[in-house]
Each structure stands twice: as structure tokens, then as C-alpha cells.
Amino acid sequence: MVDPPPDLVIEIEVTRSSIAKLPVYAAMGVPEIWRWDGQRVTILGLVDDDYVERKTSAALPPLTSDVATRFLVESRELRRTIWVRQVREWARAAGTT
């Protein structure tokens, strides 16, 4: 039995890696990658054998790279309970719950 690829990879990379990971993910058939470089979230979608930047997530359609970036930045600035409440409110408003 062969396990299917994950639906999503979340990669946090604030320094340059010596390993080219995107071709590995593509070979595995991972359809979407969210990458955080310390400043911005980028959403990448697999098209043929390569990844292209997308404005929204296929795994979580209401999520844009701008919203994901805002959530990560705010997670460092706000008290956890306030941050969680804001994420939940966004999810309800976006129709994800």
C-alpha cells in the first residue's frame, strides 16, 4: 500500500536551505505549500511538475497569503486568547467552520 501525499506542506524557512525542497514535494505530488520566510507567507500550488504562486489557498479557499501573513505577525503581537478569538471570528466570517 502506498500512502497518498499530504494535502498541504507548511514550510518555515528564515534562512536559505542548501536543499532544493520544491522538486521533492512535486515528485511526491504535494498539491500546495505555504511558505513563511520570516516576513511573508507565500502560497504555492502545484501545476504540472512545478509550483506557482497563488493568491488563495486551494486547501483553505478563503485564506490568502495576506491574511496568513497578518495572522502570523499578529500571533507575535497579541495575547494568545485575543489572537485565537480573532482567527475564529475570521474563520466564521469566511465560512470555514
The pLDDT tens digits for 22-42 are: 999 999 999 999 999 989 999
Higher-confidence position of 82 and 2: 82
Q: DSSP character for 5?
A: P
Q: Does a structural domain hold residue 57?
A: yes
Residue 40 cell numbers, joined = 511573508
Q: Does a structural domain hold residue 2?
A: no
Q: Does a structural domain hold residue 1?
A: no
- pTM score above 0.85: yes
Q: How many domains does the chain have?
A: 1
Q: Given its phi and psi angles, is residue 94 left (phi above 0), alpha (psi -120 to 50 degrees) or beta?
A: alpha
Position 77 pLDDT exceeds 70: yes
Q: Does a structural domain hold residue 89?
A: yes
Range of the domain at 43: 9-94
Q: Does a structural domain hold residue 17?
A: yes
The pLDDT-based confidence of 14 (bands split at 50, 70, 90) is: confident
- Radius of gyration (Cα) for the chain, nearest Å? 15
Q: Does a structural domain hold residue 15?
A: yes
- Across all residues in the chain, what is the average pLDDT? 92
What CA–CA distance (Å, rounded) separates 33 from 83? 23
